[in-house]
Amino acid sequence: MYEAEHEMLENKVAIKVLNPVLSNNAQIIERFKNEAKLMASLNHPNITKVIDFDEQPQQLSIIMEYLVGEDLNAKIKREGALSERVTDELFKQILSAFQYAHNQGIIHRDIKPSNIFILENGQVKILDFGIAKLYSQNNEMTQTGTQMGTPVYMSPEQVRAEKSIDYRSDIYSLGVTLYYATTGKAPYDQATDSQFDIFNKIVYSPLPNINYQNKYGNIIAKACEKEKSDRFQHCDEWLHVVENPSSQNTEPEQTIFVQNASHDSTKIEIPKEQNTKANEEIISEKPDEKRTSELPSTKKKKIKSLFVVLIILAVAIAVFFIIGKTTGFGSSKSNEKENVNDPSDDTTEEDEDPEEDEGTEEDEDSEEDEGTEKDEDPEWDEVPSEDFGAYGSSEDADSSYQDFSRR
């Protein structure tokens, strides 16, 4: 690009000269001529004017109006993210220019901040229609499978090198440009991300880190939808939102979370035009209706809890039965064993001193034996005192003990 002055008119012009290295490339030459024709056919205050075209051996030149100012990329690098006022002023002009171009059947295909020039008075000029396309015609200078554009600002259909690219591809690129203007940085970092990674993100992943608290968040999200049919369908639709913020209807869905009886959150997407009605229905919903809708999950939870309680109760009963059997029957047998040993001791004493046992103990303590022994062990009531002699000796007592144990 060169600055020049007309010798007779003495006015400054800008001359875009095709690189001599590319002068032998027929396709590049045809594209360069096509740019000159397209720009010359456009007459809009926000599109750079073409004054003339010059063709010399090994040199092709487009003569354009001379512009003083800076492109949008340089402005953002110098100032950072733009204010809402400046952003609105610029994008009203940008959208107007591209709506005009689209009406002429022209799509730019290489929209990016460096191709949007801002004059010193704030007027916008669109540059570089070098790879622009007349989508109303069948002729196509690029073959299917050829990617055209700057990677970060390319639309998903450009990345996929689709044949049927239309003006909605420009709308996607404008959305990424708005992202850069309002955040001060591009959504993808070409310094760290490979072109392959960037292309994958463009095709498969939502635009990252969109600030929906910002007035432009919903606009950017809509402009950069993966599907063309979900974007703004033309620049005038977008321009209407910029000029009438109160009528903004760019958020297609509202996300609400409904918590059920099991405390699981369910995400529900509601179209914005239905948001008010949906919210009213949620607020006015009767408690009985909520309980009815939550009944199946509540019932399942109660059945599960009851099943757990029954298991715990069965285990407790089994443990209690085992402990009771061990301690209860054991003490009974121990008592019985002690009771059997007592008569053996008495019998032994009778063998050693029968006269003393029969004379003294039976006479003096008969009342005590009958009272005390009956109180301490009622089982001895069933055994007559005269039967003690049947044990005879300690050996007989032991055998009786063993028989009793077996019972």
- 127 Cβ contact partners less than 8 Å away, ≥ 6 residues apart: 48, 71, 115, 116, 117
SS3 144: coil
As a whole number of angstroms, the distance between CA 16 and CA 202 comes to 32
Distance, first Cα to last Cα, the chain: 120
3-state secondary structure 96-111: HHHHHHHHCCEECCCC
Chain centroid offset of residue 252 CA: 19
DSSP symbols for 223-243: HT-SSGGGS-SSHHHHHHHHH
Q: How far apart are alpha carbons 379 and 332 in whole angstroms? A: 12
110 is an active site residue? yes
Angle at 91 between CA 89 and CA 95, to 5 degrees: 130
- CB within 8 Å of 129: residues ≥ 6 apart: 35, 38, 39, 106, 108
Q: What is the DSSP string of 245-295?
A: GGG-----EEEEEEE-TT--EEEEEEEGGGHHHHHHHHHH--HHHHHHHHH
Q: At 126, give phi and psi (nearest 5°).
A: -85, 135
Q: State the CB neighbour count (10 A cutoff) for residue 352.
A: 9
DSSP state letters, 305-317 = HHHHHHHHHHHHH
At residue 124, φ and ψ (nearest 5 deg) are -95, 140
Q: Which of 71, 110, 128, 170 is catalytic?
A: 110
The residues assigned a catalytic role are 110
